[in-house]
Structure 1
Amino acid sequence: MNLHLSGMIPPVVSPLTPDHRPDIGAVERLTAHVRDGGASALFVLGSCGEGPTLEPGVASEITRAYVDAVAGSVPVLAGVGETSTERALRAGQDFEQIGVDALVLMAPMYFNADTDSAVIRHVTALAERTSLPLVVYNIPHLTHHPITPRALREIAAIDSVVALKESSGEWDTYAALADVAGAAGLRVFQGAEALIARSLAAGAHGAVPGIANVVPGLAARLVQAGLDGDTTLAAALQAQLDDVCAVYSSGFWLTSLKAALAELGIVGSTAGQALAPPDADGLNEVHRVLVAAGLVEVTA
């Protein structure tokens, strides 16, 4: 597989119109925003992209819009987060036809089966039914199926598996999986913003930070400093990124993120109907964080 991922890969949000249809203009604006900020690839339909919850037709339209907006300038990775292998196969084949460059596979999310064997069977089935490179995505607090070092060791032997995205937010979990991935020759990416500098210092190849939707330039500079081995600069940039991540505390993290992007005029604030938008105090906090980061002006 000739896909050598590295650098800052934003897990882009899925822009929706108020009636929950794909907002193609917003996809184009966000693509330009993160590309100008230094994104080395785009990850669509992850947690930030509401991939596991969007209506399948909407997910496909948004994926196609990102592929069209990127126009081959950087790879597009599509998240496959489903309750079963059967649904994941359908989604993966659909995204391959659309023209994505890789699939990012979460563990199946519903039945509490034996975790290791379920994950191994799941990834093996996807590898047999697609020609695309595969990124293994560990996010156990959402899937409730952790990808263990034992499972990853078997999965890593599959030729099409090229990388690991680890988003547990727990250093010991990250370090154990990164060791296995590194020994197998996989690329390793940190998905938890607070651990980016530390992970890069320990040998990660990049990061997939949701806050890069808002501050792609800052996230890209942090990743590059880490890759360059400039730990002093990386620590300073990590502190700045942590300050912007305060936007997540404004309410439910995803709707807060979309509220920040809406205030910046990039995408609308519409998210899944079950997800509560920030209240007035939350919106004030979003504004405060953006002002402190120098992204918007102080309002009277």
Structure 2
Amino acid sequence: MVKKIIGVIPPIITPVDENEKVDEKALRLLINHCIKNGIHGIFVAGSNGECLALTQKERDRAIKITLDEVAGRVPVIAGVMDSSTIRVIENIKRFEDMGGKTAVVTPVFYARHATQDESVKHFEAIANATEADLMIYNIPPFTGQTLKAETIFKIAEIDKVIGYKDTSGQLPEFIKCLRYFEGTDFILHQGATNLAMASMLLGADGYIPSLAPLFPMPHIKLYEAGKSGDIEAVKKWGAIVDDICKIYPMAKSQTASTKYAISKLGFLAKRVIRPTEPITVDEERRIDAKIEELKEYM
């Protein structure tokens, strides 16, 4: 297997209309904007895409539209995460029917006593029920469980599991994975943008930054510098990416701040899905000021 899902792969927002249905035109424009500006892949129906706030029908629409618009130009990975194994399998079956190839799977959530062994069995059952490739997604704030490096090693032995997105924020655990999988075809992505500098220099295959659609150039430059081992360039572009990340906490909800910032592209709304609080005027002003500071990198 050759590594194909590498580079800067943003978890794109899902533009929605006033009825909280996917704004197809805006989503297609966003996808084309990403590809035109050199983004290496698209992650649809992730946490940033409000995948579990959308209805199932609209979540499926977002994935289908994305696959159709990308049309094989870059890799597409799609979130199929859910609260039980059977629900994930149902999601992934629909994804396969749409022509999807690589699904992103978390441990189950809303499960108070979930264990590491249960997560291994979760992936085993899913792999047995699909022909799609699977990527592990470790995001403890949303699942209530932190997958340990040793658990990732076990899951990686399962047929069809091809990679790992780590949004745990625990760099030492990610480094264990980088060492363990060094020289293999297993794909390793850093999901915490603030850890991208170190992760790229240590051998990560890419990272998953939410604001890359608004600022594609510095995110791509950081990736390229990391892959080439250019420490000074990594420090330069990493500092700029860190400055971009200051936008995230400028609203109560990171979803709201990200959606508002990306709406500055001019072809999609800032609207978030209930019950997420909409961004306030003061929050918008703070984000506008930061974007103005960084406009040369857009």
Q: Same fold (TM over 0.5)?
A: yes
Which stretch of the first structure deviates more once superposed, 20-29 or 148-157?
Answer: 148-157
How far apart are 1:50 and its partner, in Å? Answer: 1.2
What SS class does the counterpart of residue 272 from structure 1 fall into?
coil
1:136 counterpart = 2:98: no
1:198 counterpart = 2:198: yes
Contact 1:197/1:222 (CA < 8 Å) preserved in 2?
A: yes
Contact 2:247/2:287 (CA < 8 Å) preserved in 1?
A: yes
* Deviations 1:220-261 (CA, angstroms, capped at 9, x unpaired): 121111111111111111111111111112211111110111
* Deviations 1:44-97 (CA, angstroms, capped at 9, x unpaired): 111111123321100000111111111111111111221111111111111111
Q: In the TM superposition, what are the counterparts of 1:39-188 in structure 2 within 5 Å? A: 39-182=39-182, 185-188=185-188
1:277 counterpart = 2:292: no
- Alignment-mate amino acid for residue 275 of structure 2: A
- Alignment-mate amino acid for residue 97 of structure 1: D
What SS class does the counterpart of residue 212 from structure 1 fall into?
coil
How far apart are 1:114 and its partner, in Å? Answer: 4.2
- Alignment-mate amino acid for residue 210 of structure 2: G
CA spacing shift, 1:184–1:138, aligned 2, 3 Å:
farther
Contact 2:165/2:189 (CA < 8 Å) preserved in 1?
A: yes
Structure 2 partner of 1:268: 269
Q: In the TM superposition, what are the counterparts of 1:214-233 in structure 2 within 5 Å? A: 214-233=214-233
Aligned sequence identity (%): 28
CA distance in 2: counterparts of 1:117 and 1:214, whole angstroms: 39
Give the TM-score taking structure 1 as reference length.
0.94
Structure 2 partner of 1:209: 209
CA distance in 1: counterparts of 2:114 and 2:281, whole angstroms: 44
* Deviations 1:23-57 (CA, angstroms, capped at 9, x unpaired): 11111111112112222111111111112332110
CA spacing shift, 1:295–1:93, aligned 2, 3 Å:
farther
CA distance in 1: counterparts of 2:106 and 2:29, whole angstroms: 28
How far apart are 1:110 and its partner, in Å? Answer: 1.5
How far apart are 1:181 and its partner, in Å? Answer: 4.0
Residue ranges of structure 1 left out of the alignment (5+ in a row): none
Give the TM-score taking structure 2 as reference length.
0.94
Structure 2 partner of 1:255: 256
Residue ranges of structure 2 left out of the alignment (5+ in a row): none
Contact 1:120/1:154 (CA < 8 Å) preserved in 2?
A: yes
Contact 1:7/1:223 (CA < 8 Å) preserved in 2?
A: yes
Which stretch of the first structure deviates more once superposed, 221-230 or 110-119?
Answer: 110-119
Misfit runs of 4+, over 2 Å: 1-4, 176-185
What SS class does the counterpart of residue 212 from structure 2 fall into?
helix
CA distance in 2: counterparts of 1:24 and 1:182, whole angstroms: 40
How far apart are 1:295 and its partner, in Å? Answer: 6.1
